[in-house]
């Protein structure tokens, strides 16, 4: 009986020891430390760009203005390159141009642009060339006609010679030759002399109008160079004349006799 009680006590003691050991060997869970708060991402850059005028004529200037935030570098192209975050600058594009501003920073990049239209004036059409002196001479200077066997200046010849004097006053560099002509009637010698009187009469009239005599040379062709070759009064009248041609710009340059 004693042995059995001892055995039970021993059994109970062992069981208690096991429970205590098991209790001591149980680990207590440790709570992990809290994670640090997440850092905010870098701010995205922003930029604006505008022009004071978007339509100009070639040769005119326009003012560019820009403003950037959250940027470490800013550029405006073409022409300006790297610039401050805020600013303005005048540009003078020679042709239509698109300007672009770029802002770059830790948060990325951003761009803005503006377009300036340049109007190029069309080349002015050359002014039409005016008439030459020779053309004006042909237009303004007219023959002076004479009556049969006469060298007197008649009314219609006076009017023609007055226009010639006006032309010569307008073009003082021009010298002239006055040719005396006759119709076919009469001898060659007589008509040469008559042609001389006709050319001299025309010269005298011009000199009286203030034209310098050294600008005028005279010559007679008599009946040798008829303008009209028909044998009637209408044709003969056209041959009785003082005819003018340009001779140069001084008496030394007068051509032909």
Domain that holds residue 244: 133-253
Domain presence at residue 41 = no
More reliable by pLDDT, 40 or 127: 40
- For 142-196, write each residue's pLDDT tens digit: 999 999 999 999 999 999 999 999 999 999 999 999 999 999 999 999 999 999 9
The mean per-residue pLDDT over the stretch 223-247 comes to: 92
Per-residue confidence (pLDDT) for residue 123, from 0 to 100? 73
- Whether 110 and 142 share a structural domain: no
Quick one: residue 62, left, alpha or beta (phi over 0 = left, psi -120 to 50 = alpha)?
Answer: beta
Helix axes 188-208, 155-170, angle to 10 degrees: 60
Per-residue confidence (pLDDT) for residue 196, from 0 to 100? 96
Per-residue confidence (pLDDT) for residue 33, from 0 to 100? 73
Select, from the ranges 28-42, 46-60, 111-125, the one with the highest average predicted confidence (pLDDT): 46-60
- Whether 143 and 218 share a structural domain: yes
Q: Which of 98, 143, 89, 138 is nearest to 118 (CA)?
A: 98
- Whether 91 and 165 share a structural domain: no
- Whether 138 and 104 share a structural domain: no
* Number of domains comprising the chain: 2
- Whether 67 and 156 share a structural domain: no
Mean pLDDT of the chain: 85
More reliable by pLDDT, 252 or 125: 125
Domain presence at residue 26 = no
- Whether 111 and 88 share a structural domain: yes
Per-residue confidence (pLDDT) for residue 253, from 0 to 100? 37
- Whether 216 and 185 share a structural domain: yes
- Please give the share of the chain, as a percent, with pLDDT higher than 90: 62
Distance CA(154)–CA(141), nearest Å, equals 17
CATH assignment of the domain containing 85? 2.60.40.10
- Whether 191 and 83 share a structural domain: no
Q: CA angle, 221 as apex, 159 and 227 as ends, to 5°?
A: 65
**Final residue of a structural domain among 94, 119, 144:** 119
Per-residue confidence (pLDDT) for residue 19, from 0 to 100? 54
More reliable by pLDDT, 10 or 152: 152
- Whether 170 and 237 share a structural domain: yes
The pTM for the full model equals 0.50
Per-residue confidence (pLDDT) for residue 246, from 0 to 100? 92
More reliable by pLDDT, 94 or 8: 94
Per-residue confidence (pLDDT) for residue 159, from 0 to 100? 94
- Whether 115 and 137 share a structural domain: no
More reliable by pLDDT, 9 or 188: 188
State yes or no: pLDDT of 212 exceeds 90: yes
Per-residue confidence (pLDDT) for residue 57, from 0 to 100? 92
Domain presence at residue 176 = yes
Per-residue confidence (pLDDT) for residue 249, from 0 to 100? 53
- Whether 95 and 149 share a structural domain: no
- Whether 95 and 139 share a structural domain: no
CATH assignment of the domain containing 173? 3.30.1330.60
**Final residue of a structural domain among 57, 87, 119:** 119
Domain presence at residue 187 = yes
Alpha helix locations (H) across the chain?
Answer: 2-25, 133-140, 155-170, 188-208, 233-239
Domain presence at residue 206 = yes
Domain presence at residue 34 = no
Per-residue confidence (pLDDT) for residue 217, from 0 to 100? 96
Domain presence at residue 232 = yes
Domain presence at residue 5 = no
């Amino acid at each position: 009986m004693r042995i059995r009680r001892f055995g039970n006590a021993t059994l109970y003691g062992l069981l208690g020891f096991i429970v205590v050991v098991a209790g001591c060997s149980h680990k207590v869970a440790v709570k992990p430390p809290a994670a640090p708060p997440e850092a905010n991402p870098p701010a995205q850059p922003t930029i604006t760009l505008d022009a004071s005028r978007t339509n100009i004529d070639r040769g005119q200037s326009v003012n560019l203005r820009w403003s950037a935030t959250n940027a470490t570098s800013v550029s405006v192209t073409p022409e300006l390159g790297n610039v401050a975050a805020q600013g303005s600058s005048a540009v003078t594009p020679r042709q239509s141009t698109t300007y672009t501003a770029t802002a770059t920073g830790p948060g990325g990049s951003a761009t803005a642009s503006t377009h300036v239209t340049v109007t190029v004036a069309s080349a002015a059409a050359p002014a039409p060339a005016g008439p030459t002196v020779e053309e004006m001479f042909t237009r303004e200077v007219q023959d002076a006609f004479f009556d049969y066997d006469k060298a007197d200046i008649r009314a219609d010849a006076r009017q023609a010679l007055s226009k010639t004097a006006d032309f010569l006053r307008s073009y003082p560099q021009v010298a002239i030759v006055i040719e005396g002509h006759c119709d076919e009637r009469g001898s060659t010698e007589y008509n040469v002399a008559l042609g001389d009187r006709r050319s001299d009469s025309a010269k005298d009239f011009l000199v009286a109008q203030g034209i310098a005599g050294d600008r005028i040379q005279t010559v007679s062709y008599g009946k040798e160079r008829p303008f009209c070759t028909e044998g009637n009064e209408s044709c003969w009248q056209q041959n009785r004349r003082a005819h003018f041609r340009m001779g140069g710009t001084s008496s030394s340059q007068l051509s032909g006799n």
